[in-house]
Amino acid sequence: MTTQNTETNKDRVFIFDTTLRDGEQSPGATMTLEEKLQVAEALDDMGVDIIEAGFPIASNGDFEAVVAVAKQVKSATVAGLARAITADIDRAGEAVRHARRGRIHTFVSTSPIHLAHQMKKTEDEVIEIIARTVAQARNLIDDVEWSAMDATRTPIEFLKRCVETALKAGATTINLPDTVGYAVPDEHEAMFREIIASVPGADGAIFSAHCHNDLGLAVANSLAAVRGGARQVECTINGLGERAGNAALEEIVMSLRTRADAMPYHTHIEATHLARASRIVAAAANFPVQYNKAIVGKNAFAHESGIHQDGMLKNAQTYEIMTPASVGIKETTLVMGKHSGRAAFKDKLRELGYELGENAFQEAFQRFKDLADRKKHVYDADIVALVDDEVGSVGDRIRLVDMEVVSKTGGIHRCDLTLSVDGEEVAVSFEGTGSVDAIFNAIKKAVGQDPHLVLYAVDAVTGGTDAQASAHVRLELNGRIVSGNAAEPDTLVASARAYLNACNRLMIERGAAAQGAMAG
């Protein structure tokens, strides 16, 4: 089998995307199988080298998702995560064997605090575990990645022993993750440089950086690791990930591309796909992208300052170091109306980066026609919101059938609601302190759940009083956090559908047998 380590170009950086594994560990970011497949397809199309599809031992659902991604992906290597446990490694091997190129990614803790309080093992015992489990993985597949969990808080001499052991046992990629986001760039670069220079056999492997963003340094540390000799970076779309998130793939890629003078390295990512991948992941994970997010945020290429606007009109390079088009962002344009036909709509979807199956296309087209009847102008951004909303609600067990809201200043606020719950219609009425309060309480009464509302936010997709409202809801129930999104011209309907989207996610069964012991 050909592995990633046959690359002869020393300046190439492999992009290892872990959105489907580490990214999905963000509270509320659970994705359905269909959503995971859509994300995987976008990553593959973009040129991601390795897609970490999940943690196969965690649950049957995770195993089936890794298998499905492995079968679908055409170009990228598909990796499955495994703890340094025999059953984990066997399960990961079984899942990724369906891929054209598969990888087992196994890990073990190495820092003193982890060994003392989590592993309860001595250094010698950890060395034995590494030798045995890496060899087991290598017997199953040629491409094996080994990670030293909490590497940046591990004494350098012990870390060297661990890396040498993993290499001798057959590891082809060595990952030294900054698991808790503790490192700073100079020391991170120095760690990679010393390990690569002093460990026997290191020149025959690819070294990898996996940085968390607890101090806001994930991207800086990842780039420092590349300067120190790492040639794989582990990252996620939009920086999605547990706690403060992971290094953002789009920031890594565009930093290397924009500052090739200072960092003479390159990736094989097609950068014009970045904005589309960002939208797909935001919709699938129900995690909106912050406005000022670098590269893909709504304001990333917006200029309000008079001085900036003057400079932009004279020469865009005065205040833009890259163009919106270079990452796949185009200005919101007026595109279509209620008289537009199927062929024109399909062409527009293709232009925006969407390829829908026939059923999904028909549903999207009908929603577009409905929107065009209600909204004076339909923009590209409206169609993006419409399609992403449709994708996010596929397979919903609870759907909105009808809703009437009565609201009076200083008076009553009541919601009369009809839902379809598993095909059965349920009608309820509820009064609240405001319109949204009445709607949300009516839904809780209808579905028989009483989750805690963690977050509720509404944003306009485009300008104008007839703009679609994009509503975002985050709920917590029994320690589990889920998110829901919806877009509608009517703000109250958007709010109701977002709340229902989150309720549907609460109903998705997911095992968590091995959650909480994740690498990175």
Q: Per the domain annotation, does 1 fall within a domain?
A: no
Say if residue 64 is in the same domain as residue 166.
yes
In a shared domain, residues 313 and 386: yes
The side-by-side arrangement of strands in the sheet containing 452-460 is 452-460, 469-477, 480-488
Residue 392 is predicted with a pLDDT of 56
Q: Do 438 and 458 meet the contact criterion of CB atoms below 8 Å apart?
A: no
Backbone angles phi, psi at 37, to 5 degrees: -65, -35
Phi, psi at 408, each rounded to 5°: -135, 135
Helix, strand, or coil (residue 367): helix
Q: Please answer whether residues 212 and 520 qualify as being in contact, where contact means their C-beta atoms are separated by less than 8 angstroms.
A: yes
Calculate the CA 237 to chain-centre distance: 5
- pLDDT, tens digit (0-9, with 9 covering 90-100), for 406-435: 998 888 899 999 999 888 999 999 999 999
Q: What is the pLDDT of residues 52-87, one digit of tens each?
A: 999 999 999 899 999 999 999 999 999 999 999 999
Is residue 33 situated within a structural domain?
yes
Query: Do 428 and 379 share a structural domain?
Result: no
Helix (H) or strand (E) holding 414: strand 413-421
Q: What is the secondary structure of 130-166 as a DSSP string?
A: HHHHHHHHHHH-S-EEEEEETGGGS-HHHHHHHHHHH
**Among 390, 411, 438, residue at a domain's last position:** 390
* 402 marked among binding-site residues: no
Report in angstroms the alpha-carbon separations of 101 from 139, 342, 502: 15, 38, 35
The pLDDT score that the predictor gives to residue 478 is: 85
Domain boundary among 372, 390, 408: 390
pLDDT-based confidence at 167, cuts 50/70/90? very high
118 token code pair? 């989590």
> What SS3 class is residue 207?
strand
Q: Do 264 and 369 belong together in one domain?
A: no
What's the mean pLDDT in 247-272? 97
Helix (H) / strand (E) element for 50: namely strand 50-54
Q: Per residue in 202-220, pLDDT tens?
A: 999 999 999 999 999 999 9
Q: What is the predicted pLDDT for the residue at 301?
A: 74
Flag whether pLDDT at 234 surpasses 70.
Answer: yes
The CATH number covering residue 419 comes to: 3.30.160.270
In this structure, are residues 421 and 444 in contact, taking their beta carbons and an 8 Å threshold?
no
- pLDDT tens by residue, 362-386: 888 888 888 888 776 777 778 877 7
Same-domain pairing of 49 and 184: yes
User: What pLDDT sits at residue 335?
Assistant: 61
Tell whether 22 is in a known binding site.
Answer: yes
DSSP secondary structure letters along 436-463: HHHHHHHHHHHHT---EEEEEEEEESSS
CA proximity to 327, closest of 16, 46, 13: 46
211 and 64 in one domain?
Answer: yes
DSSP 3-state of 17: strand
Cβ contacts of 46 within 8 Å, gap of 6 or more: 269, 270, 273, 274, 277
Mark whether 82 and 202 lie in a shared domain: yes
Distance CA 163, CA 195 (A): 8
Out of 88-92, 342-346, 399-403, least confident range: 342-346
Two structure tokens written together for 358: 């026939």
CA 516 to centroid of chain Cα atoms: 18
Q: What confidence tier does 141 reach under pLDDT thresholds 50, 70, 90? A: very high
Higher pLDDT pick, 239 / 368: 239
Residue 312 has pLDDT above 70, yes or no: no
Q: Are residues 256 and 239 in the same domain?
A: yes
Q: Which of 113, 118, 166 is nearest to 144 (CA)?
A: 166
Q: Do 362 and 485 belong to one domain?
A: no
Structural domain range at position 312 = 302-390
User: 434, exposed or middle or buried, with CB in 10 Å at 0-12, 13-18, 19+?
Assistant: exposed
Q: Are residues 362 and 463 in the same domain?
A: no
Query: What pLDDT shows up at residue 257?
Result: 96
User: For residues 340 and 375, is the Cβ–Cβ distance under 8 A?
Assistant: no
Residue 191: the pLDDT is 98
For residue 34, the one-letter residue type is E
Q: How far apart are CA 242 and CA 213, in angstroms?
A: 9
Single-letter amino acid, residue 469: A
Q: Specify the amino acid at residue 177.
A: P
At residue 507, does pLDDT exceed 90?
no
Q: How far apart, in whole angstroms, are the C-alpha atoms of residue 93 and residue 50?
A: 16
Question: Could you tell me which residues come within 8 angstroms of residue 342 by beta carbon, excluding any fewer than 6 positions away?
Answer: 365
Q: Is the pLDDT of residue 354 over 80?
A: no
Range name among 422-436, 458-472, 498-512 with the lowest pLDDT average: 498-512
Show the tokens assigned to 258: 């924009």
For residues 140-156, average pLDDT: 97
In this structure, the answer to whether residues 409 and 485 fall within a common structural domain is yes
Mean pLDDT of the chain: 87
Q: How far apart are CA 156 and CA 111, in angstroms?
A: 10
68: in domain: yes
To which H or E segment does residue 146 belong?
strand 144-149
Domain boundary among 344, 369, 390: 390
Confirm whether 518 is domain-assigned.
Answer: no
Tell whether 520 is covered by a domain: no
Any domain includes 487: yes
Give the Cα separation of 201 and 499 in Å (integer): 54
CB within 8 Å of 273: residues ≥ 6 apart: 42, 45, 46, 47, 328, 353
Q: Which residues lie closer than 8 Å to 87 by C-beta, 6 or more apart?
A: 57
Beta bridge pairs of residue 460: 469
If one compares 293 and 26, the residue with the highest pLDDT of the two is 293
Measured CA to CA, the distance from residue 228 to residue 13 in angstroms comes to: 12
What per-residue confidence (pLDDT) applies to 203? 94
Cβ-in-10-Å burial (0-12, 13-18, 19+) of 303 comes to: middle
CATH of the domain at 147: 3.20.20.70
210 annotated as belonging to a binding site for a ligand: yes
* 413 plus 378 within the same structural domain: no
User: What length is written for the chain?
Assistant: 520
Domain count, the chain: 3
* Residue 24 pLDDT class (50, 70, 90 cuts): confident
Q: What is the pLDDT of residues 176-204, one digit of tens each?
A: 999 999 999 999 999 999 999 999 999 99
Residue 514 forms part of a structural domain: no
Assigned domain for 51 exists: yes
Q: Which residue has the higher pLDDT, 385 or 494?
A: 494
pLDDT at 3: 45
Amino acid 517: pLDDT:
41
User: Do residues 396 and 501 make contact, with C-beta atoms less than 8 angstroms apart?
Assistant: yes
- pLDDT at position 146: 98
Rg (CA), the chain: 24
| Average pLDDT of the residues in 100-112 | 97
Give the per-residue pLDDT at 348. Answer: 81
Query: Does residue 310 surpass a pLDDT of 80?
Result: no
Vertex 342: Cα angle to 337 and 344 (nearest 5):
65
* pLDDT for position 102: 98
Taking the C-alpha atoms of residue 1 and residue 138, their distance in angstroms, rounded to an integer, is 12
Banded model confidence at residue 316, pLDDT cuts 50, 70, 90: low
Question: Which pLDDT value is given to residue 156?
Answer: 98
d(CA 146, CA 292): 35
Question: Up-side HSE of residue 43: CA atoms within 13 Å toward CB?
Answer: 31
